[in-house]
Structure 1
């Protein structure tokens, strides 16, 4: 049996073992989403200047948890961990995951990142109550050769093992470039060769569709390995721009029928650019659509 086939089969088996039959049945009976998360990168234009006010607004809009970014050198969103923790606790929003950079792009050596003093990031994430750390992005210089992805896979494995020892999960977040052939190989296949026990997936539905793939197929092939989703929509406009969740072509009711099979624990409404009005209103539009969605 090929290693990838073995990983796929063991992922399904593990997912079954980790989920009690009663919980699966209950989840399958649900026909509406009950809790909602957002990726703070969406509101990067306002959250730095007014973190408390931004979180209060989004909590009032119906969000109960979030994923953070800009996490390095003992800071989150530019604030010391202790200071940010107080603001977050007051907001009543829970931190479920945090994007942590590789820290070695373009010759950088940044502490508290995947490459430099990663344990610092693990400890700070635990202090904030996070359950997962996520590798969010590779700069152009980090993905020019297939050998870089092979080295990345080793780094992901190492970080995943370190997270597991501290009671955290670890995942990789995709864009479109991981699905584009490079030197005769698909980079995402190399990422999938990592041990699914240590390296989970954060599936960004927009970028999967942008790459011309069906996220349902990826879910079926990696059942139980996708605890985190990024929920953002694909516009019908030329250039396949992002748009507010519910205003694009992605069939969210169909996708959410696969949440149990994927292993999804949390999902984040997100929009990087192309806001109809502003970043806050884009998140509000998304959550309003999802609150009414039945699957």
Structure 2
């Protein structure tokens, strides 16, 4: 018989273990596998409802949106309409990629404000900046962008959101002894601006995610888990089928600060894209979390 006293003791022991081992807390929730919906950019505009049904059936509970614009919203759907479809499939849009118009370059906040409103409706935790246009990748521009990210992060915080920045490989280009990514890390407020580390692009650029975790603990709240094709490193492949060993990264979840991760595959699907996302989710569930 389980007495009230024994129940309290046992519950306390479990809680103590989870606090002592944050990675245990993460591993206890194996279903929280996310998908960056850009992976399905060919399918979504054709049928959002059917596509998201297949995402849920493939083992995903989180998604990251992309493609918002003031004119077309999300593939012709308003944030309210999209939220309804997500809810019907028990999917949470914990993050979204928003280009923010010209805000990073000239400070115009029109699209930033619209993005924040959409993110609030979708119940995002993070509003994520996905890209810097090529003409604005100089050292001087990265300093301006860092300042604008701080400004956007304050606006996000006031709206109950967090701001994150997603990398590619160009941020790691050495320019006169420094990289754009170093500027973004060093000149943004670490209590306001977070980072979504695209593991594929870090590896492709010749850098080590573990080194970034160690040097910037706690700042990488999200990851893109995207594998590298063995025969052509410019291409992606299903998680577990490529060159990247993700196990060392998942062992350092605590140091990274990661709370959400998203599978992404932009090309080179083994069969079709739905088969690929299921293959990736199955591998992660069995081998990484």
Deviations 1:250-287 (A, max 9, x none): 11222111112211111001011122222222211110
Instruction: Find the counterpart in structure 1 of residue 89 from structure 2.
Output: 91
Task: Quote how far apart the aligned CAs of 1:139 are.
Answer: 2.1
Deviates more, 1:35-44 or 1:83-92: 83-92
Q: CA deviation at 1:21?
A: 7.1
Q: C-alpha separation between the residues in 1 aligned to 2:212 and 2:155?
A: 26
How many residue pairs match? The answer is 270
Choose between structure 1 and 2 for higher RCO, CA contacts under 8 A separated by at least 6 residues: 1
Instruction: Provide the residue aligned with 2:185 in structure 1.
Output: 192
What's the CA shift string for 1:34-62, capped at 9, x where partnerless? 42110000001101111111111111111
Correspondence for 2:152 among 159, 184, 187: 159
SS of the counterpart of 1:172?
A: strand
Structure 1 equivalent of residue 245 of structure 2: 251
Query: In the alignment, is residue 27 of structure 1 matched against residue 25 of structure 2?
Result: no
User: Residues 24 and 260 of structure 1 are in contact (CA less than 8 Å); yes or no, is this contact kept in structure 2?
Assistant: no
Q: Distance in 2 between matches of 1:137 and 1:173?
A: 7
Q: How far is 1:246 from its partner?
A: 0.5
| Cα distance in 2, alignment partners of residues 251 and 179 from structure 1 | 21
Residues 1:165 and 1:23: Cα distance change in structure 2 (over 3 Å)? farther
Q: How far off is 1:122 after superposition? A: 1.1
Instruction: After the TM superposition, list the runs of 4 or more consecutive aligned residues in structure 1 that deviate by more than 6 angstroms.
Output: none
SS at match of 1:133: strand
Two-structure CA RMSD over aligned residues (Å): 2.3
- 5+ unaligned residues in a row in structure 1: which ranges? 1-19
Q: Unaligned stretches of 5+ in structure 2? A: 1-14
Q: In the alignment, which of 162, 165, 169 is matched to residue 176 of structure 1? A: 169
Alpha carbons 1:95, 1:129 under 8 Å: kept = yes
